[in-house]
Amino acid sequence: MKLYYSEYMKNITVSVDDDLYKRSRVWAAQAGSTVSALVRAFLTRLTEEDPEFDRLAERQRALIQQIRAEYPHFSAGDRLTRSAVHERDALR
């Protein structure tokens, strides 16, 4: 599998000591790869093997769909006015 840079890929920074960096570069070169490709493969395997992550991601998707169905005009960016906040507080 060959990956190419695109606007959809994100860069991450990882700090490692010099020895680990050198050994990783040697290992990657011997494998005909790059350190970035090794890290990408590791993270891919890590997230693919986590059923809890998949379950929670599916639950999040379902909740977002439910909110959109029940409240089609809802926006997380909507804010209550100061008076509306105080009116709600008075109802308690």
pLDDT digits 0-9 by tens, 33-85: 999 999 999 998 887 877 888 889 999 999 999 998 998 888 877 888 888 88
The residue written with tokens 């992550």 in the block is: 53
pTM here is 0.47
- The mean per-residue pLDDT over the stretch 13-21 comes to 95
pLDDT score at 88: 66
Residues 6 or more apart whose CB falls under 8 angstroms from that of 53 comprise 47
Helix (H, G, I), strand (E, B) or coil at 49: coil
pLDDT at residue 3 is higher than 80:
no
